[in-house]
Amino acid sequence: MDLMTILGLIMGASAVYYVMYVGGIERLLLNLPSAILVFGGTFGATMVTYPFSILSKVPKVVFLMLFPPKRLSPQHYISLLVQLAEKAKKSGIDSLQEDLPKINDHFLVDGLQMVLDGLDPNLVRENLEKEIIFLRRRHSQVTSVFRSMGTYAPIFGLLGTLIGVVQVLQNLTDPTTIGSAMAVAVVTTFYGIFSTNFLYLPTAGKLDALTEQEVLLKEVAIEGILSIQKGDIPMILSRKLHAYLAFKLRQMRREKAK
């Protein structure tokens, strides 16, 4: 379970509920018609936008976000590549064949298998980089779903408010109902803003971060695989990969700062 995601959900929901409770408006904000309009409208618009082949991936991706599989850290990944390089240097690169079933990373296994099959280094790099491109494309499809939902939800919240205003205007002859009717009208805007900034956009951001982490590991793997194929000394390989990792992390921080 991803602890930061769970803690973030609990903290955000608790903060909002506390303000509602102190203001004595928690019952007013828990309005079923407003929730149906915002969430139902958002889901409906999303279904119109995306085909089933993409939407069917959303539940699995959300599950993986909350319960991510265990992955090696970049440092441990580099250590694994250095160990493989040491064995290849001592016993020959063909000796790595017996280690492939023990490696729990199909990307690394595929890359090493191409090396063992004698493919040209440029072709190995090209094939592995294509896999990264396909990975980004698959992940961006699901991420775009949540970004679209983050766009639609506030609009449906505003739509609910407009509907509520029309209802208020219909009952101008009864001033006692105007206040409560207007309050309910504004509730739909609350649902739209809350769902966008607490659910949809944070989820899209989390998926982007997870994608970048996975891509970083794969890029490190490519450099390590090609170094093993080249016959680099393990110590040189370690320094090269740590330098590459530091460069990519700085690059990612600069891109986030933009």
Residues 187-205 have pLDDT tens digits of 899 999 999 999 999 999 9
Assess whether 150 and 229 both reside in one domain.
yes
How many whole angstroms separate alpha carbon 6 and alpha carbon 146? 18
Encode pLDDT of 61-118 as tens digits.
888 888 887 777 888 888 999 999 999 988 889 999 998 998 888 999 999 999 999 9
Say yes or no: 11 and 87 in one domain: no
Q: Mind listing the pLDDT tens digit for each residue in 24-64?
A: 877 778 888 889 999 999 999 999 999 999 999 999 988 88
Structural domain including 186 reads 32-257
Residues 93 and 147 in one domain: yes
Q: How many Cβ atoms sit within 10 Å of the Cβ of residue 91?
A: 11
List, in order, residues 6 or more apart from 162 with CB less than 8 Å away: none
What DSSP line would sit under 6-65, residue for residue? Answer: HHHHHHHHHHHHHHHHHHT-HHHH--HHHHIIIIIHHHHHHHHHS-HHHHTTHHHHHHHH
Q: Are residues 99 and 220 in the same domain?
A: yes
User: Distance between CA atoms of 217 and 74, rounded to whole angstroms?
Assistant: 6
Same structural domain for residues 64 and 143?
yes
Q: Are residues 190 and 77 in the same domain?
A: yes
Looking at the structure, do residues 9 and 36 belong to the same domain, yes or no? no
Q: How far is CA 115 from CA 59, 96, 124, 171, 188, in A?
A: 36, 10, 7, 77, 58
Mark whether 16 and 36 lie in a shared domain: no
The answer to whether the beta carbons of residues 241 and 72 sit under 8 Å apart is no
Crossing angle for the helix pair 121-170 and 175-195, to the nearest 10 degrees = 180
Q: What's the pTM?
A: 0.84
Most confident of 205-209, 240-244, 245-249: 205-209
Strand, coil or helix: what is 92?
coil
Looking at the fold, whether 182 and 245 belong to one and the same domain comes out as yes
For 215-243, write each residue's pLDDT tens digit: 999 999 999 999 999 988 888 888 888 88
Same domain, 238 and 170: yes
Distance CA 79, CA 83 (A): 6
Number of domains in the chain: 2
Task: Give yes or no: residues 11 and 83 share one domain.
Answer: no
Same domain, 57 and 71: yes
Whether 56 contacts 138, CB under 8 Å: no
Give 3-state DSSP helix, strand, coil % of the chain, rounded to 5: 85, 0, 15
| Distance between CA atoms of residues 199 and 46, nearest Å | 15
Predicted pLDDT at 1 = 66
